[in-house]
Homo-oligomer: A and B are copies of this chain.
Amino acid sequence: MRRIADSTVRRLSLYLSALEAFEAQGMTTVSSAALATRGGTTSAQVRKDLSFFGSFGKRGLGYASAELAARLRDILGLKRAYRLAFVGAGKMASALVNYRGFDQRGFHIQAVYDTDPSVIGQTWNGVTVRNAKQMVGDLKGNPVDIGVIVTPADAAQGVTDQLVQAGVKAILNFAPAPIMAPPDVSVKSVNLTLELEALSYALSNR
């Protein structure tokens, strides 16, 4: 399969989110214009993005919502479940582990690790927090698909190296620091502090 650009993958996710909302409202067809609005793009771009995967639309009728949503789920790899290991069991990790949106989208939290003896042994949303020293051994025996890093910035690279050593091929990094991984490991970052500070900067320099 030809590799799709990151920006296209993001739009496909947005189209899927839009289609699911339209389906929930009972709409069986949807126009490229409606998808364009929700994808932050143009109708022409929607048609281009989707034509790449086959023919879903009929001129004048729009796209068949259910059919297109199923195909997008397939393309995005959402027809299977994924196992996640969280590394770092602080306040942000606690918020995320207790957020049920992961499970609903098929991302199941299999393990949580920390180095703090006062947190190790606690049960979070059915998962017992384990000693980070056991992580590499655990994950070699019981692999996960995605490692979620929720540690302080200075621990993030070390944890990345351990996850890579344990065979993890995808990492979601919430630590406020960039991390480096081999090319066969996918890394995505979510940095709440950075976004908030970009807003405080904008508000202070108007």
Instruction: Kindly supply a per-residue 1/0 record for chain A positions 62-101, scoring 1 wherever the CB is within 8 Å of any chain B CB and 0 otherwise.
Output: 0000000000000111101010000000011011101111
Stretch at the interface among A111-119, A159-167, A195-203: A195-203
Instruction: Kindly supply a per-residue 1/0 record for chain A positions 169-194, scoring 1 wherever the CB is within 8 Å of any chain B CB and 0 otherwise.
Output: 11110001110000010101110111
Stretch at the interface among A45-53, A131-139, A146-154: A146-154
| A17 contacts partner chain B, Cβ-Cβ < 8 Å | yes
Kindly list chain B residues whose C-beta atoms are within 8 Å of the C-beta of A12. 197, 201
Query: With A153-B18, A194-B10 as given contacts, are A146 and B186 in contact (CB-CB < 8 Å)?
Result: no
Query: With A172-B195, A190-B195, A196-B172 as given contacts, are A77 and B204 in contact (CB-CB < 8 Å)?
Result: yes
By the criterion CB–CB under 8 Å, are B204 and A76 in contact?
Answer: yes
Q: Which residue of B lies closest to A10 (CB)?
A: B194
Q: Among the interface residues A16, A172, A176, A189, which one has the most CB atoms of the partner chain B within 10 A?
A: A176
A20–B40 Cα gap in the complex (Å)?
37
By the criterion CB–CB under 8 Å, are B190 and A202 in contact?
Answer: no
Q: Which residue of B lies closest to A153 (CB)?
A: B17
* Beyond A101-B192, A169-B203, 20 extra complex contacts between A and B, CB < 8 Å: A9-B198, A9-B201, A10-B198, A13-B176, A17-B177, A39-B178, A40-B177, A75-B201, A76-B197, A77-B201, A77-B202, A77-B204, A95-B95, A107-B200, A145-B203, A169-B202, A186-B202, A186-B203, A188-B196, A190-B190
